[in-house]
Amino acid sequence: MKLIFTILLFVSFSLTSSAQVFANFEMPQDTFYNGIDQSGGFDFSIPVGGAESIDFSFSNVYSLDFGGYWQSGWAMSTIDDTNTSGPGNLYASKAPITDLVFEKYAVGQQNSGIKLSGYPSNFSELVITNTTYAHNSMRDGDMFAKPFGGMDGNDPDFFLLTIFGYEGGQKIESDSVNFYLADYRFTDNSQDYIVDSWETISLDSPAFFEADSISFHLTSSDTTAGFFNTPLFFCLGEVNVVYLNTNEAEKAAAKVKLTPNPTADILNINFEEIQDALTLDILDARGAKVFSKNLRYQDQDQIDVSTLLPGVYFLHVRGKVSFAKKFIKK
CATH architecture of 247-329: Sandwich (2.60)
Which residues on adjacent β-strands are paired with residue 46? 54
Helix (H, G, I), strand (E, B) or coil at 172: coil
Check residue 287 and give its pLDDT.
64
Helix (H, G, I), strand (E, B) or coil at 146: coil
Q: Same topology for domains 3-243 and 247-329, yes or no? A: no
Note the Cα 233 to chain centre separation in Å.
Answer: 16
State the number of CA atoms in the 13 A half-sphere of 231 facing the CB: 28
Handedness of CA 225, 229, 230, 232 (dihedral sign): positive
CA torsion 115-121-123-127 (nearest 10°) is -90
pLDDT tens for the chain, 330 residues long, are 455 444 333 333 344 444 467 767 788 999 999 999 998 998 888 776 666 778 899 999 999 999 999 999 999 999 999 999 999 999 999 999 999 877 899 999 999 999 998 877 778 789 999 999 999 999 999 999 999 999 999 999 999 999 999 988 888 877 789 999 999 999 999 999 999 999 989 887 767 777 899 999 999 999 999 999 999 999 999 887 776 555 666 777 888 999 999 999 999 999 888 676 778 889 887 667 789 888 877 888 999 999 999 988 888 887 766 677 889 999
Using only C-alpha atoms, what is the Rg of the chain? 22
Contacts of 24 (CB under 8 A, 6+ apart): 5, 6, 7, 44
DSSP 247: H
Check residue 50 and give its pLDDT.
60
Check residue 72 and give its pLDDT.
97
Distance between CA atoms of residues 99 and 102, nearest Å: 9
Contacts of 187 (CB under 8 A, 6+ apart): none
Q: What CATH topology corresponds to 3-243? A: Jelly Rolls (2.60.120)
Q: Are the C-beta atoms of residues 196 and 153 closer than 8 Å to each other?
A: no
Check residue 13 and give its pLDDT.
36
Check residue 49 and give its pLDDT.
60
Distance between CA atoms of residues 221 and 67, nearest Å: 32
Check residue 211 and give its pLDDT.
86
Cα–Cα distance list, 27 to 60, 69, 103 (Å): 17, 20, 10
Residue 145's CB is within 10 A of a number of other CB atoms, namely 21
Q: Which of 256, 247, 237, 246 lies closest to 314 in space, CA to CA?
A: 256
In the chain, where are the structural domains located? 3-243, 247-329
DSSP 136: H
Check residue 289 and give its pLDDT.
79
